[in-house]
Amino acid sequence: MTSDQGNIGLLREPVAQRLLQSSIPARFAYQWTDGTPRVVPIGFHWNGEEVVLGTPMDAPKLKALRDGQMVALCIDTDAMPYQVLEIRGMIRLDVVEGIAPEYKLMTQRTLGVEAGQAWLTNLALICPRMTRVFVRPTWVGLLDFETRFPSAIERAMEAASAGANGGSTA
């Protein structure tokens, strides 16, 4: 049976939770103003309902992003068995004074408390305001290459299993 890809309930799976708490950067995909696709690596924070990205006010991506726009994120490992969390969702933007709280949490998670605080101290001097990009998941895909595989591989495995059983589905 193929995996239940697309179901946002997959975010509760242990593999998804590990990826959402990892220090791996997300790959953030969006559409540029000329209609071409863009993908950028970016730190993120999972608040339990949304993926939150913090970015300086003059970041180029803010020229293209608008409230209600659909985007995609991917958080994945680079060693077999691969683990891949794909999220598609709608964004909303807001601006905060100083460094966004979610950015602070992401920085300390990825760099450690001491190095993270050093980075935040320096950033605060040059970044008086920050934009937050909230991504609310509307579709989730999860692959772990142990129990969940890409759909083409799952179909091939099912066909091979049916063939090994003499074509019987019983």
Q: Residue 153 — very low, low, confident or very high, per pLDDT cuts 50/70/90?
A: low
pTM of this structure? 0.87
Is residue 150 in some structural domain? Answer: yes
Is residue 3 in some structural domain? Answer: no
How many domains does one find in the chain? 1
Q: With 0-12 CB in 10 A as exposed, 13-18 as middle and 19+ as buried, what is 99?
A: buried
pLDDT at position 94: 97
For residue 148, the enclosing domain spans 8-162
Is residue 167 in some structural domain? Answer: no
Whichever domain contains 29, its CATH number is 2.30.110.10
List pLDDT tens digits, range 66-99: 999 999 999 999 999 999 999 999 999 999 999 9
